[in-house]
Amino acid sequence: MGCSNGRFGEFGGQYVPETLMSEICRLEEAYLRLRGDPSFQAELSALLDSYAGRPSRLYFAEKMTRDLGGAKVYLKREDLNHTGSHKINNVLGQALLAKRMGKKRLIAETGAGQHGVATATAAALMGMECDIFMGREDTERQALNVYRMRLLGARVHSVTGGTMVLKDAVNEAMREWTRRVDDTHYVIGTVMGPHPFPTMVRDFQSVIGREAREQILKAEGSLPKAAIACVGGGSNAIGLFSAFLGDEGVRLIGCEAAGRGLDTGMHAATLSKGEVGVFHGMKSYFNQDGGGQIAQVYSISAGLDYPGVGPEHAFLRDMGRAEYVAVTDEQAVSAFEYIARTEGIVAAIESSHAIAHAMEAAPMYDREDSIVVCVSGRGDKDVAAIARHRGEDVRE
């Protein structure tokens, strides 16, 4: 099917309407060509360095290490990037690719607005038009990010179909792409969707793992015992994992959102509770209701609130190379507070899911061991919601 296979075992593929198939093939062809093109890679590297602020630091969290009493905890600081998370790595890569393909316009879906803001940023930088699709529920909850995207020159479209959340915004962005493929590139925000997106987005995020591997070897002279990251669609996690896939001694641990608890129905733990299905152009695991419909998902963290997971994670889990654990809202909020107090770092509530697991994992290792935890983003955006969660009313 399609122009190439694009599968991870049985997962992935290209489940798209006829009208998109030829565009997806053009995209794959362009991507494969540019991936091996030194001038493209040099231009992207220069942008990541001078604009995004790479390489991001690998920080030894000494107080946290002492307090937890076990492996040395190293934090990969994606929160220090321009726009405040790892999303810029992918967006700059895709925007540059789109430009080389002759596209004039970028479109994207967004949930809380983080990926929309990153895409609007890249569009402003490259002088491209930008349209962002966002569920109406989300435009109302995230008014500040809507304004931020408009400030950056983007148009924001409020999607009223379905349940008016992220998955509906993806549907609408796909439809819009089908309507205007000639001058438009759809910047998918994570390792999901039809091939080549899961591979391409992984490659753009693999800079996280490449840097982290080199940095930990320099700091410790040995590889870490575990690499830990939160999983929404799974792009920061796969970016970190990709450098360690061949290192059998490195455990790869993804942290999903268990929300109010795995047995409540109010969670977004796709690998723990989902079933195999086809949605948004790919075969993977999805949270489904009894009738095989995509289930409503929930997490305190908007960035983890997606009912599916990237197909490579499904594959890595099923073949036993990576493990996935579920972390509740309550555990994530406690970790958010813990790392702020202990290390002076306000991490994103998404990243706090990984930190929560690291807090449990670190004491299980020896003092000579190390673990690497991805701090995928900064938590300024979450402060008011955490205060509310704790019963305090703070004005945003």
Ligand X SMILES: *Cc1c(COP(=O)(O)O)cnc(C)c1O
Which residues bind to ligand X, rule: CB under 6 A?
A: 85, 87, 114, 190, 230-237, 303-304, 348, 350-351, 376-377
User: For residue 2, which of 202, 201, 314, 283 has the smallest C-alpha distance?
Assistant: 283
Residue nearest to ligand X (CB): 377
176 or 305: CB nearest ligand X: 305
Q: How far is the CB of 54 from ligand X (least distance, A)?
A: 16
Instruction: Write down how long the chain is.
Output: 396
Find the catalytic residue in 72, 76, 87, 225: 87
Q: How far is the CB of 342 from ligand X (least distance, A)?
A: 19
181 or 332: CB nearest ligand X: 332
72 or 284: CB nearest ligand X: 284
Encode burial over 345-357: b for 16+ CB neighbours within 10 A, e otherwise: bbbbbbbbbbbbb
> What are the structure tokens assigned to 338, written together?
């813990």
Measuring CA to CA, how many Å separate 93 from each of 52, 129, 308, 329?
11, 17, 23, 32
Long-range pairs, 180-184, Cβ under 8 A, ≥24: 180/105, 181/19, 181/20, 181/23, 183/102, 183/103, 183/104, 183/105, 184/103, 184/104, 184/105, 184/106, 184/107
145 or 171: CB nearest ligand X: 145
Half-sphere exposure of 239 (CA within 13 A, CB side): 32
Find the catalytic residue in 28, 242, 376, 381: 376
The question of whether 109 is a catalytic residue gets the answer yes
Measuring CA to CA, how many Å separate 376 from each of 85, 166, 190, 236?
6, 20, 13, 6
Q: How far is the CB of 194 from ligand X (least distance, A)?
A: 16
12 or 232: CB nearest ligand X: 232
Find the catalytic residue in 109, 172, 256, 350: 109
Encode burial over 166-191: b for 16+ CB neighbours within 10 A, e otherwise: bbbbbbbbbebbbeebeebbbbbbbb
> What are the structure tokens assigned to 266, written together?
């109010």
Q: How far is the CB of 233 from ligand X (least distance, A)?
A: 4
55 or 303: CB nearest ligand X: 303
The question of whether 376 is a catalytic residue gets the answer yes
Q: Is the CB of residue 51 less than 8 Å from the CB of residue 345?
A: no
For 18, residues 6+ apart whose C-beta sits below 8 A from its C-beta are: none
Q: How far is the CB of 245 from ligand X (least distance, A)?
A: 17
Position 167, amino acid: K
Catalytic annotation, residues: 87, 109, 376
